Amino acid sequence: MNITNTKVGILGGGQLGKMLALAAHNWDVETWVLDASKDFPAGPVCSRFVEGSFKDFDDVYRFGKQVDVLTIEIEHVNTEALLQLEREGLKIHPSPSGLNIIKDKGLQKDFYKKKLLPTAPFQLWENGDAIRTALKNGALRFPFVQKSRTAGYDGRGVAVIRSEKEMGLLMEEASLTEELVDFQKEIAVIVARNEQGEVVAFPAVEMDFNPVANLVEFLVCPAGLPENIQREAKELAIATIEAFGLCGLLAVEMFLTKDGQLLINEVAPRTHNSGHHTIDSCYTSQFEQHLRSILNLPLGSTKMKTASVMVNLLGEPGHSGPVEYDGLDECLSVEGVKVHLYGKTTTRPFRKMGHVTILDPDPENARAKARSVKEILKVISKVY
Ligand code: ADP
């Protein structure tokens, strides 16, 4: 394939689309992006921005007709249009049928069960009333985690309900409930597969969550895991992408339970927040790897150049409006600090505005520097 003549269509123009377009630009690959506004992060860096909705059949269909390969940076796209485009011969990665399963957390969990892939036990519910009835008749017990089947993103659509007192958190839509997993670590492995079936996995990373925002706060690579668990995690990620038969990237989020078992939490068939460090810390970035896999090129080495910690740059609570980055100079004077801003002009509490990767051969040093970066660098707005 002559990649320099290939038009890659990306559904979604957020930061993932932006970083994918930047990687494509290195290879003179044309990127077309569909999203609501040119002012979104990918707008200034893609070859062509098409304004429209990736949830709308006609917009997606028309967009797909203009590109050679279609991919996504968000799951919540119109898959009916993708299925139609696929029937008409367009190359789409991830496959619309795989995407349909992953988009619905209920179907996703059923898939793991059917394929004997390890995941926490779960039950599916039509609505909130079904859950209330199940609690009354003993079919469901506290504590449990409720997940909306289709509305989840970045911690929204997930409720941890420990007792009757917390039932105010219950979501009324179709959902699944899971046992509360007693995990020692949350990790993620990003794996790539191309059309020839070549598969490679990036090293596992460890995620630390901010309990208030329920967003990843620190992401440490390599994860502090014994070698056998590292290996098992990679093998599980590979088994998962092979079970789905997907091309492109698959980010596999897992729990490591206190008794040393790996359970799949959820997957995303695209570039992922847990892979941002690869831009600076690995031989191949996740964005380049995604392009390699959807363009059916040889996959790149996933070797680490150095250990790293990634920090999401989130909008400071209490600040909404035109964005300012306080402490940027001080932060940039620290060795190994790589700042990535997404180009969002306004901030709001906990909005993902950028990320910082801290490189250091010693993960503990990287962690310490990450802590100070979090202290120094603030995403604020002088307008309240
Ligand atoms: P999202 O789609 O919002 O990322 P997740 O399913 O990953 O939703 O859940 C968000 C977070 O909630 C997880 O990263 C984890 O910290 C916590 N969580 C999810 N499921 C469970 C579970 N079964 N037991 C314990 N904690 C969980």
Scanning the structure block, which residue is given the tokens 């307008």? 383
Q: Which atom of ligand 1 is the closest one to the Cα of 207?
A: 14
Residues 281 and 365 grouped into a single domain: yes
Strands 144-148 and 158-161: antiparallel
Q: Residue 314: CB partners within 8 Å, gap ≥ 6?
A: 210, 213, 215, 349, 350, 351, 352, 353, 379
* Tens digit of each residue's pLDDT (9 = 90 or more) over 265-324: 999 999 999 999 999 999 999 999 999 999 999 999 999 999 999 999 999 999 999 999
Residues 267 and 351 grouped into a single domain: yes
For residue 239, being part of any structural domain is answered with yes
- Residue 220's pLDDT is 96
Residue 210 near residue 177 (C-beta atoms within 8 A): no
Residues 164 and 312 grouped into a single domain: no
118 Cβ below 6 A of ligand 1: no
120 Cβ below 6 A of ligand 1: yes
126 Cβ below 6 A of ligand 1: no
For residue 316, being part of any structural domain is answered with yes
Residues 220 and 314 grouped into a single domain: yes
- Residue 217's pLDDT is 77
Lowest-confidence range among 66-75, 285-294, 357-366, 375-384?
A: 375-384
What integer is the mean pLDDT of 1-11?
Answer: 88
Residue 99 near residue 85 (C-beta atoms within 8 A): no
Confidence of residue 215 (pLDDT cuts 50, 70, 90): low
206 Cβ below 6 A of ligand 1: no
Residues 175 and 187 grouped into a single domain: no
Average pLDDT for the chain:
95
Q: Which atom of ligand 1 is the closest one to the Cα of 152?
A: 2
154 Cβ below 6 A of ligand 1: yes
Residues 200 and 284 grouped into a single domain: yes
**Boundary-marking domain end, from 54, 71, 92:** 92
For residue 300, being part of any structural domain is answered with yes
Residues 218 and 344 grouped into a single domain: yes
pTM of this structure:
0.96
For residue 114, being part of any structural domain is answered with no
Structure tokens at 265: 């939490």
Residue 172's CATH number: 3.30.1490.20
Separation of alpha carbons 91 and 111, rounded Å: 24
Overall domain count for the chain: 3
147 Cβ below 6 A of ligand 1: yes
Residue 219's CATH number: 3.30.470.20
Q: Which atom of ligand 1 is the closest one to the Cα of 181?
A: 24
152 Cβ below 6 A of ligand 1: yes
Task: Count CA atoms within 13 Å of residue 246 on its CB side.
Answer: 32
For residue 237, being part of any structural domain is answered with yes
**Boundary-marking domain end, from 179, 200, 224:** 179
142 Cβ below 6 A of ligand 1: no
Residues 37 and 125 grouped into a single domain: no
For residue 365, being part of any structural domain is answered with yes
With the most atoms of ligand 1 within 8 angstroms of its CB, the residue from 122, 158, 209 to mutate is 158
Residues 208 and 293 grouped into a single domain: yes
Residue 66's CATH number: 3.40.50.20
Q: Which atom of ligand 1 is the closest one to the Cα of 120?
A: 23
For residue 105, being part of any structural domain is answered with no
Residue 173 near residue 152 (C-beta atoms within 8 A): no
Closest CA to 354 of 288, 273, 289, 287: 273
For residue 100, being part of any structural domain is answered with no
Element (H, E) at 57: helix 57-64
Closest CA to 355 of 244, 247, 249, 274: 274
Residue 377 near residue 315 (C-beta atoms within 8 A): no
**Boundary-marking domain end, from 179, 199, 223:** 179
Confidence of residue 214 (pLDDT cuts 50, 70, 90): low
Q: Which atom of ligand 1 is the closest one to the Cα of 179?
A: 23
Residues 87 and 220 grouped into a single domain: no
178 Cβ below 6 A of ligand 1: yes
- Residue 3's pLDDT is 83
Residues 222 and 347 grouped into a single domain: yes
Residues 241 and 325 grouped into a single domain: yes
Give the structural domain span for 230. Answer: 183-380
Separation of alpha carbons 45 and 25, rounded Å: 8
